[in-house]
Structure 1
Amino acid sequence: MKFTLSWLKDHLKTKATVDEIATRLSAIGLEVESFDNPADKLGAFRVARIVEAGKHPNADKLQVIQVEVEKGAPLLEVVCGAPNARAGLVGVFAPLGTYIPGSKITLEKKPVRGVVSNGMMCSAAELELSAEATGIIELPAEMASHVGERYVEVMGLADPVFEVKLTPNRPDCTGVRGIARDLAAAGLGTLKPEKSISGVEGADPCPVEIKLEFSKETSSACPVFAARCIKGVANGPSPAWLQTRLKAVGLRPINALVDVTNYISQDRGRPLHVYDADKLKGAVRARLGKSGEKFLGLDGREHAVDTGMCVIADDTGPLGLGGVIGGEASGSTDQTVNVLIESAYFDPARTAQTGRKTGLVTDARYRFERGVDPQSVLPGLDLATQMILKICGGKPSKATVAGKEPDGRRSTSFDTAQVAKLAGLELPESEIRSILEALGCDVLGKGGVITVTTPSWRPDIHGAADLVEEVVRIAGLDRVPSTPLPRPAGVARAV
C-alpha cells in the first residue's frame, strides 16, 4: 500500500516529520517496507522548451534540437531520438552530469553520430515515473512559463512516498484514510473530518436496471449492488493533480472516469467500476457464472467463467468478474458520454477463490478479498459521482440499489482488566476508552466492563482478545513491562 506525505495530510492534521511517521507506522503494526523521496533523485531535472528541431546530418532516426533551458540563456544543442520531439514542445531536460535513474547512466558531453549533445530531453521511463519510453515527456504548453525551474517542484513531485506492508487482516488500511486514522489514534496528529457531499442525487431514475440473481444459499456472493448513471460527461485526461497522485503510487492514468475510481480505491479503500452506459444491453445483474461463458478482460486477455464465480453481466453475457476485473466490451473510453458507476460489496472468500483460479492480481481483488467496508457502498458511489461531476460534468440520475449492505459491526462485552491480564500492561480505563473510540469504536458503560461496538471497516476484530491487541498496539508495545516468567517449584534459581 503506497501513499504520499501530502495525500496522508489530506486526512491527518500533523506536524510530524517523515521519520516520525515511518517510526510510528512500524510501531503500530503497519510495517514501512520502503520510503522514497523523488526530490532526491529528480532534483537536477528542469522544465525546458524545444525551440527548433531539425534532422541529424548523419542519422535518419535522430534530430538535432535547440533547447531553452533557462529564461534569457543561450539555447543548448541536444541530440534527440524521440519520435515526438518537435519545436514548441515543453518537456523535461537533464543537464550534463545528471544521473538518469531509469537508464543507470550519468550524462557526459560527447558526440552522438558526430554531433555533441549538451544534455538530454527525457522520457517518463528514464525518470522512473512510468514504463512509457516511446517518447519524451510532454508537459502542457502553459508550462513554458516555468522553463528553468525544477521539474519536481513544478509538478508537485517533491512529495515523499511511503510503502506499507499490510497484513491480510487490515482491509481498513488499504485506503489512505485508514492509515491516517491509526496514526491519529496513536497520537501523531488529528484525523480530519470527512468533507460533506452534496448535489449528487439527480431527479430522474437510473436508466439502467440493477439486479441480484442469486439463490438464498449464494446471496452472500454480492449482497448489495448500487449504481448511478451520469449522462453527458466529457471524458478525457484527468487533471494534473490527479495524475500526479496516481503516478506517485505506481498507478497509470487512463482517463478521467477510470482515474477517479482508482483514486477513491487508494484514498478510501473502496473499489468502484465504471461502464460506458451506451454499451450495455438490458439490465446489469450480479449472478454466478455459467459453464462455458467467457469475456475479454480489461487486461486484454480472455477469461473463462465457472459456476463458482460471481460475475457482472448484461443481456449479452458476462461484463466482468465481481470484485476482480472489468471487461473490455463495456469499458469507458475518451468517447464515453454516458457512464454507469458501480459500487458493490463482494464476498471476500469467493473473491479470493476467483482470483486464485484465474491468476488475476488486481487492486480490486487485493481489497475485496480482505473485506471492504460494507457500509462504504453508497458513500463511495456519492464520492465518485461528486468527483466525476466536477471533472467531467454531466447530469446524474438517482442512485439505484439492489439488495442491502451487511452491517459489519460487532458488539462485545469487554472487561478492561483484560488488558493487564492478557498483555501485562496496566492502563486506566479512560485511556482504553480513548484508544478504542479513536479507532472508530462506539463505547458504552463504565466501571470496568464496557460494551464495545467495532466499526464496519474492522472485520478482523471478533472479541475481547482482539480488543486487547488493539489497545496495546496503539498504546505502544514499548510500554509493556518486561516480566520474568514465574519459576515453577523445583526449578533452580539463576546463579
Structure 2
Amino acid sequence: MKFSLSWLKEHLETDATLEQICDTLPMLGLEVEELINPAEKLSPFTIAHVIEAVQHPNADRLRVCKVDTGTETIQVVCGAPNARTGMKGVFAPSGSHVPGTGVDLKKGVIRGEESNGMLCSERELGLSDEHDGIIDLAEDAPVGMSYAEYAGMDDPVIDIAITPDRADCLGVRGIARDLAAAGLGTLKPLDTSEVKGTFASPITWDVDVPEPSLVPYVVGRYFKGVKNGPSPKWMQDRLVAVGLRPISALVDITNYMMLDVGRPLHAYDADKLSGGAIRIRLSKAGESYEALNEKTYTFEDGMLVLGDENGIDDMAGIMGGERTGCGDETVNMYLEVAIFDPISVAMTGRKLNVLSDARYRFERGLDPTGPTWGVHLASKLVLDICGGEASELVVHGQEEDWQRTITLRHSRIKGLAGIDVPEERAKDILTRLGFEVSGSGEAISSVMPPWRYRDVEGEACLVEEIIRINGYDE
C-alpha cells in the first residue's frame, strides 16, 4: 500500500516528522517496505525560459533555442513542435540522467548546431506517456526553480506491507486512523453527508443469484450531463505518486476512492448499457468478455458477473469491461458501489488468473457500510469535478448485520500479552480506533466499528489491538 506524506495529512492532523511516522508504523504492525523520494530522480531538472526559438538552418523539424536556466543562457536544439519563443519549460542540463528514456545527456552537435542539454516532455521525465511536445509551463513559473518542487513532486511516498487481516488499512484513511490512535495526531472528519438525488434513475438492478450472501448490498446512482475531461492536477499528482496512470476524471475518481478510503467503485458509460438494468448473476461456461486491461476472459459455470441484455461486461469485484467503460465522450454515467462475497471474488480471480487492486480489497472483506457512505463521498467528487446531476439511489439488499459487542476483561491484557497497560490507556486506544467503549474493570464493553467487522472476533483480538497501538516496541 503506497501513499504520499501530503495525502496522509489530508486525513491526519499532525506535526509529526516523516521519520517519526516511519518509526511508528512498524510498531503498529504496518511494516515500512520502502521510502521513496520521487524528487531524487528529478533533481537535475529545473524551470527554464526559452528566450528565443528559431528554425534550425539545416533541419526542417528542429529549432535552435536560447534558454535561460536561471544561472546561464545556453543553446539547445529541440525537435518538439511546440517549442517557441517566450515559453517556460523543463530543462535537463548536460550530464543528467533522463529517467523516461534511460539516456545520460552529453553535450553534442546536432546537424551542425551545438546543443547543451534538452527541453523535456512528460514521457522523458517518466511522468506519463505524453510525448507530443515538451512540457509547457505557466508564464509565472519561476526560472531556475526545481521542477519537482514546483510541480509538488517533492512529496515522499511510503510503501507499507499489509497483512491479510488489515483490509481497513488498504486506504490512506485507515493508516491515518492507526497513527492517530498511536498519538501521532488527530484523525480529521470525513464528509459523508447525503447527496440528494433530483430524478429517478433510468437504470436499475436485476439481481439473480442463488444465495443473497453473494451480493448482500449494492447501491447505484445515475449521473447525467457530466463532462469527462482530465481530472484535477491534485488528483493526478496523487495517483502518479503511487504508480497509477491518470486516465480521465470519472475513472480517476474511482481509483482515488479505492486508495483514499479503501472503497472500490465501478463507473459505467450509461449510454452503452442496454435494457434498462444491470443484471448481477452467475456466469455460464463459455461466456466471455473483454476486460479493461484489453484481455478477453472466458468464464466457467457459476462465477459472479455483471452485465446487460448484450452479455457480461464486469467480473464482479475484480475488473470492468471495455464495452461499457467511460471515455472522453461519456456524458451519462452509472456508478456501482457494491459488497460482493469475498470467497466468490477470490475464487474467480484465481481461476482466471486476474489480479487487480479491486480484487485485492474485495477478497479481504470490505466495510459492510461502504455502499451507504461511499456513494455520497463519490457523488461529491463526481459533481464537483465533472458537473452534471445525480439521480436518486438505486439500492438492492442492505447492510450486513455487522454490529458485534465484545467484553474485555482488563486482566486479560497482562494475562495474554504479559504487558501492563493502564485501564484508561487501554480504553482510550480502543476509542481512538473507532470502538464504542463502556464499562470498566473486568467488564469493559466494546462495540466494534464496521471497518473491523472481518477481523475482530473476540476478547483476544481486543488485547491485540491494545498492545499493537501501545507499541510493539513496548
TM-score by length of 1: 0.89
Closer, same or farther in 2 for the Cα pair 1:395/1:324, shift >3 Å? same
Alignment partner, residue 490 of structure 1: none
2:268 and 2:326 in contact (8 A); partners too? yes
User: Which one is further off, 458-467 or 322-331?
Assistant: 458-467
Q: Which of 411, 420, 426 is equivalent to 1:417? A: 411
1:234 and 2:213 correspond:
no
Instruction: Give, in whole Å, the separation in 1 of the partners of 2:433 and 2:130.
Output: 44
Alignment partner, residue 250 of structure 1: 243
Q: Which amino acid aligns with 1:312?
A: L
User: Which one is further off, 277-286 or 264-273?
Assistant: 277-286
Query: How far is the alpha carbon of 1:90 from its aligned partner?
Result: 5.1
Closer, same or farther in 2 for the Cα pair 1:49/1:202, shift >3 Å? farther
Instruction: Give, in whole Å, the separation in 1 of the partners of 2:290 and 2:88.
Output: 38
User: Which one is further off, 401-410 or 103-112?
Assistant: 103-112
SS at match of 2:240: helix
User: Which one is further off, 357-366 or 35-44?
Assistant: 35-44
Alignment partner, residue 393 of structure 1: 387
CA deviations over 1:165-190 (Å, ceiling 9, x no partner)? 11111110110000000001111111
1:64 and 2:63 correspond:
yes
Instruction: Give, in whole Å, the separation in 2 of the partners of 1:269 and 1:53.
Output: 51
Alignment partner, residue 438 of structure 1: 432
Number of matched pairs: 470
Alignment partner, residue 396 of structure 2: 402
SS at match of 1:26: helix
Instruction: Give, in whole Å, the separation in 1 of the partners of 2:144 and 2:431.
Output: 50
SS at match of 1:227: strand
Q: Which amino acid aligns with 1:330?
A: T
CA deviations over 1:450-474 (Å, ceiling 9, x no partner)? 2222211111111112211111111
Instruction: Give, in whole Å, the separation in 2 of the partners of 1:201 and 1:56.
Output: 63
Alignment partner, residue 223 of structure 1: 216
Instruction: Give, in whole Å, the separation in 2 of the partners of 1:122 and 1:345.
Output: 45
Alignment partner, residue 153 of structure 2: 157
Q: Which amino acid aligns with 1:79?
A: V
Q: Which of 83, 87, 102 is equivalent to 2:84? A: 87
Query: Equivalences for 1:251-266 in 2 at 5 Å?
Result: 251-266=244-259
Instruction: Give, in whole Å, the separation in 2 of the partners of 1:265 and 1:80.
Output: 40
Instruction: Give, in whole Å, the separation in 2 of the partners of 1:67 and 1:9.
Output: 41
Closer, same or farther in 2 for the Cα pair 1:401/1:196, shift >3 Å? closer
Instruction: Give, in whole Å, the separation in 2 of the partners of 1:280 and 1:417.
Output: 59
1:115 and 2:110 correspond:
no
SS at match of 1:66: strand
Q: Which amino acid aligns with 2:466?
A: V
2:318 and 2:349 in contact (8 A); partners too? yes
Instruction: Give, in whole Å, the separation in 2 of the partners of 1:168 and 1:247.
Output: 25
CA RMSD, aligned part only? 2.2
SS at match of 1:116: strand
Query: How far is the alpha carbon of 1:47 from its aligned partner?
Result: 2.9
Alignment partner, residue 271 of structure 2: 278
SS at match of 1:422: helix
User: Which one is further off, 141-150 or 306-315?
Assistant: 141-150
Closer, same or farther in 2 for the Cα pair 1:144/1:65, shift >3 Å? farther
Q: Which amino acid aligns with 1:31?
A: E
Ranges in structure 2 where 5+ consecutive residues have no aligned partner: none
2:227 and 2:388 in contact (8 A); partners too? yes
User: Which one is further off, 339-348 or 62-71?
Assistant: 62-71
Q: Which amino acid aligns with 1:57?
A: N
2:192 and 2:373 in contact (8 A); partners too? no
Query: How far is the alpha carbon of 1:100 from its aligned partner?
Result: 2.9
Q: Which amino acid aligns with 1:334?
A: D
Query: How far is the alpha carbon of 1:55 from its aligned partner?
Result: 5.1
1:202 and 2:197 correspond:
yes
Ranges in structure 1 where 5+ consecutive residues have no aligned partner: 480-495
Alignment partner, residue 484 of structure 1: none
Query: How far is the alpha carbon of 1:230 from its aligned partner?
Result: 0.9
SS at match of 2:369: helix
SS at match of 2:189: coil
Alignment partner, residue 338 of structure 1: 332
Identity of aligned residues (%): 46
Alignment partner, residue 325 of structure 1: 319
SS at match of 2:106: coil
Query: How far is the alpha carbon of 1:418 from its aligned partner?
Result: 0.9
Query: How far is the alpha carbon of 1:113 from its aligned partner?
Result: 5.0
Instruction: Give, in whole Å, the separation in 1 of the partners of 2:88 and 2:284.
Output: 52
Closer, same or farther in 2 for the Cα pair 1:447/1:189, shift >3 Å? same
Q: Which amino acid aligns with 1:268?
A: V
Alignment partner, residue 8 of structure 1: 8
Query: Equivalences for 1:282-361 in 2 at 5 Å?
Result: 282=275, 283-361=277-355
Alignment partner, residue 20 of structure 1: 20
Alignment partner, residue 212 of structure 1: 207
Query: Equivalences for 1:30-45 in 2 at 5 Å?
Result: 30-45=30-45
Q: Which amino acid aligns with 1:157?
A: M
1:52 and 2:53 correspond:
yes
Instruction: Give, in whole Å, the separation in 2 of the partners of 1:91 and 1:355.
Output: 45
Instruction: Give, in whole Å, the separation in 2 of the partners of 1:69 and 1:416.
Output: 69
CA deviations over 1:89-122 (Å, ceiling 9, x no partner)? 6542212233334445543323345432211122
Instruction: Give, in whole Å, the separation in 2 of the partners of 1:204 and 1:103.
Output: 51
TM-score by length of 2: 0.93
CA deviations over 1:142-195 (Å, ceiling 9, x no partner)? 356444432112211111111111111111011000000000111111111113
Closer, same or farther in 2 for the Cα pair 1:370/1:55, shift >3 Å? farther
Instruction: Give, in whole Å, the separation in 2 of the partners of 1:148 and 1:417.
Output: 63
Query: How far is the alpha carbon of 1:408 from its aligned partner?
Result: 2.8
Q: Which amino acid aligns with 1:477?
A: Y
Instruction: Give, in whole Å, the separation in 1 of the partners of 2:68 and 2:130.
Output: 22
SS at match of 1:42: coil
